[in-house]
Chains A and B, each alone.
Chain A
Amino acid sequence: MRPGRLIGRIASHAVLLAGAVVMAAPFVWMLLTSIRPPEEVFGAVFDPIPSRFAGVENYGQALGASNLPRAMLNGVIVCGGILAVQLLTAIPAAYALARLSFRGRGLLFGLVLFGLCIPIQVPALPLYIALANLRLLDTYFALMMPFFLTVFGLFLFRQFFRTYPEEILQAARLDGMGEFEIVWRIAAPAALPAIAAFSVFSVVAHWNDLYWPLIVVTSSERATPALGILAFRDAETGGNYGALMAAAALITGPMIVGFLVARRAFVRGITMTGVR
């Protein structure tokens, strides 16, 4: 290898390494804090390695002295419910917007793009009032309902379906499939990478969401993972940062594992839909 190229590669790896450190440092710090004894968390001496392994008591407290397992189960229910409805609605809608010609298609797609620009905080108050009037606050439905329709997913799938070969759809029509059957038997299986990518986005976002659960949930039976962590910060436990970090580690764990498993499909889905 020529010296110039070697230096270039060292430089590019140095930049990548620096980026990796910045990204990974909070996670490493979280893991270290989660096994640190409480008296050391705000200790005067900066020492990355804990003097004493306090993992057992921190993790024990995280699991035992709170409703964290229940919160994680709630997280699974809420994220699964949201994702299922999102896919059931966004895939056919995206197919229609991408491949069928009908009056008002341009206007509808314009509304989708418009919807992409509206953050959840804008409709939060009307949604809250509506749910309150329907006496649906503090339910799974209240946690999931605002996210059932996903303009981001719709946009992502539409971009994918637009590149799908027209001749295959025509072959399916000649074989006798209706448009709904084409969506689920022909188009959706081809969109699996895009579906995987979207699922990662969706599950991570709603697993980690604090804003909306904080508004609609009052009981600990309906607490989501993010609310579960919040319990360690209240007056009762007096800010037990070791247990807090242990809880945070337990909650981010499934996300990290899930991403590593779906990583390849995720990257492929992002690159092939042109939403880079």
Chain B
Amino acid sequence: MGVRDSGRLADGVVLSGIAKSFGPTRVLEAIDLAIEGGEFLTLVGPSGCGKSTLLRIIAGLETADAGSVAIGGRSVDHLRPDERDVAMVFQSYALYPHMTVAGNMATPLEMRRLTLAERLPLIRHLSPRRPRVMRGIMAEVRAVAETLQIAHLLDRKPAQLSGGQRQRVALGRAMVRRPRVFLMDEPLSNLDAALRVHMRSELAELHARLGITFIYVTHDQVEAMTMSSRVALMDQGRILQLGTPADLYDRPATVAVARFIGSPPINLLEGEADGTGGVRIDGVRLPIAPGVAAGTRVTVGIRPEALHPAPARHDGPVLRARLKRAENLGAEWMLHATLAGAGDAPLVVRITAAEHDAAAAAGLLGEDLALAVAPAGTHLFGADGARIAVRRLAGVA
């Protein structure tokens, strides 16, 4: 939990029973979510899952059909967006195109500190107070611009900036307000790959420095995994799982979570419980299903790094596969294979370069591939998609 420089605790956000429909389409179904003060919470999910709508409801840009939003322990349902003390960074950055960078960043402060008359053209010059207020605003704008390293761009218009620079201006416009909560809607999706990786670490640093609550929306599970203190994975208007990135990766609650988190994606194999604590996949028995009735259809999820080329004398269960293609990524290799037998299910195996070289030297990487299954990355899901507790496999890999 982070603390602001003023010393007071950062504000949490509590959503209770948020529901929203657009016409006949249910976008959000009674979302309950408690976001702790100072947390970096990411809403992640495929496009159309309702995550952006939820963010807009927190900001007050959309109204929920039902439910309530509280920030810092007080309901904000009746407050206008600007009264909620939240700042938002948009996917398109949403900079005012006719204003300079300085003008863009000063606008939220001008709106708060100047009266309507002091903002009107011509009339504003009658105010004796205005020059002093504007000097104060510009000093703050400059200070924020310097921390973001965009002070040299203050006189430019957004059209003269690169994507990364616009991104920083959008962050700066949100930061000058010193909001209680920072909302971000896919802020990195318009950047090129290298800059995206760089901005990921900058955003994480910014969060650590400001210590305020961040709510971040993305469809990219890598962004969710790398920056967040907790992740809420959403699909079809529901939160499928809420937890730390490690929770979601190591203990996915449903097959949908397992499928969404992880790159390359988890290998999913259809099998049948044999009633004696094992699952049969194409004739191979994996002893991982204690207490599951015989004949139950189950889905076995195996992370790519949980599969290893098996030595010839391997005493654990082994999946037989046909190697199709091997990709060298430098530090590691991806082996693309299909499961031998009727299914022809695709399998991806991720091994380190050292393991690859050793396996290749031992002649294990022929067309016929034997794959040992490591227990830690193996997950079992019932027919309804829910997780079934997996007993650790003993003596494998």
Contact (Cβ within 8 A) A174 B96: no
A168 lies within 8 A of chain B by Cβ: yes
Contact (Cβ within 8 A) B61 A174: yes
A237 lies within 8 A of chain B by Cβ: no
Contact (Cβ within 8 A) A170 B90: yes
Contact (Cβ within 8 A) B61 A170: yes
Binds B, one of A64-72, A110-118, A175-183: A175-183
Complex Cα distance, B92 from A172, in Å, reads 14
Contact (Cβ within 8 A) A175 B82: yes
A-chain residues with CB within 8 Å of residue B61 when the two chains form the complex: 170, 173-174
Number of chain B interface residues as a range: 20 to 34
Quick one: which of B94, B108, B111 contacts A170, CB cutoff 8 A?
A: B94
Complex Cα distance, B128 from A23, in Å, reads 56
Contact (Cβ within 8 A) A190 B111: no
Complex Cα distance, B121 from A181, in Å, reads 12
Interface of chain A, helix or strand or loop or mixed? helix
CB < 8 Å A-B pair total? 56
B-chain residues with CB within 8 Å of residue A177 when the two chains form the complex: 82, 111
A167 lies within 8 A of chain B by Cβ: yes
Residues A175 and B108 in contact in the complex (CB < 8 Å), given A170-B61, A181-B119: yes
Kindly report which residue of chain A lies nearest to residue B88, judged by CB atoms. Answer: A174
Residues A167 and B91 in contact in the complex (CB < 8 Å), given A175-B82, A186-B96: yes
Quick one: which of B59, B82, B94 contacts A168, CB cutoff 8 A?
A: B94
Complex Cα distance, B96 from A4, in Å, reads 49
Residue among A170, A171, A181, A189 facing the most chain B CB atoms (10 A cut-off) = A171
Give the Cβ gap from B92 to chain A, nearest Cβ, in Å.
5
Quick one: which of B80, B97, B116 contacts A190, CB cutoff 8 A?
A: B97
A26 lies within 8 A of chain B by Cβ: no
A165 lies within 8 A of chain B by Cβ: yes
Contact (Cβ within 8 A) B92 A167: yes
B338 lies within 8 A of chain A by Cβ: no
A-chain residues with CB within 8 Å of residue B95 when the two chains form the complex: 168, 171
Give the Cβ gap from B116 to chain A, nearest Cβ, in Å.
8
A-chain residues with CB within 8 Å of residue B92 when the two chains form the complex: 165, 167-168
B101 lies within 8 A of chain A by Cβ: no
Interface string of B77-96 (1 = CB under 8 A from A): 00011100011101110111
Give the Cβ gap from B2 to chain A, nearest Cβ, in Å.
23
B-chain residues with CB within 8 Å of residue A168 when the two chains form the complex: 92, 94-97
Interface of chain B, helix or strand or loop or mixed? mixed
B325 lies within 8 A of chain A by Cβ: no
Kindly report which residue of chain A lies nearest to residue B59, judged by CB atoms. Answer: A174
Contact (Cβ within 8 A) B98 A190: yes
How many A residues have CB within 8 A of the partner chain?
Answer: 16
B-chain residues with CB within 8 Å of residue A165 when the two chains form the complex: 92, 94
Contact (Cβ within 8 A) A167 B94: yes
Enumerate B36-78 residues with CB–CB distance to A below 8 Å.
Answer: 56, 59, 61
Residue among A168, A170, A181, A186 facing the most chain B CB atoms (10 A cut-off) = A170
B-chain residues with CB within 8 Å of residue A175 when the two chains form the complex: 82, 107-108, 111, 173
B-chain residues with CB within 8 Å of residue A170 when the two chains form the complex: 56, 59, 61, 81, 88, 90, 94
Residues A174 and B81 in contact in the complex (CB < 8 Å), given A165-B92, A167-B90, A181-B119: yes
Complex Cα distance, B90 from A175, in Å, reads 13
Kindly report which residue of chain B lies nearest to residue A165, judged by CB atoms. Answer: B92
Interface string of A245-258 (1 = CB under 8 A from B): 00000000000000
B112 lies within 8 A of chain A by Cβ: yes
Complex Cα distance, B81 from A175, in Å, reads 8
Quick one: which of B82, B112, B173 contacts A173, CB cutoff 8 A?
A: B82
Complex Cα distance, B80 from A173, in Å, reads 8
Complex Cα distance, B60 from A165, in Å, reads 18
Contact (Cβ within 8 A) A176 B88: no
Enumerate B98-122 residues with CB–CB distance to A below 8 Å.
Answer: 98, 107-108, 111-112, 116, 119
Complex Cα distance, B318 from A260, in Å, reads 81
Give the Cβ gap from B142 to chain A, nearest Cβ, in Å.
19
Complex Cα distance, B173 from A189, in Å, reads 20
A-chain residues with CB within 8 Å of residue B94 when the two chains form the complex: 165, 167-168, 170-171
Complex Cα distance, B95 from A186, in Å, reads 10
Kindly report which residue of chain A lies nearest to residue B183, judged by CB atoms. Answer: A174
Contact (Cβ within 8 A) A176 B97: no
Q: A168-B96, A174-B87 are in contact. List 16 more A-B contacts (CB 8 A).
A: A165-B92, A167-B91, A168-B92, A168-B97, A171-B94, A172-B107, A173-B81, A174-B59, A174-B61, A174-B81, A174-B82, A175-B107, A175-B111, A175-B173, A189-B98, A190-B97
Subset of 22 A-B contacts with CB under 8 Å: A165-B92, A167-B91, A167-B92, A167-B94, A168-B95, A170-B59, A170-B81, A170-B88, A171-B90, A172-B96, A173-B61, A173-B82, A174-B61, A174-B81, A174-B86, A174-B108, A175-B107, A175-B108, A175-B111, A176-B111, A177-B111, A185-B119
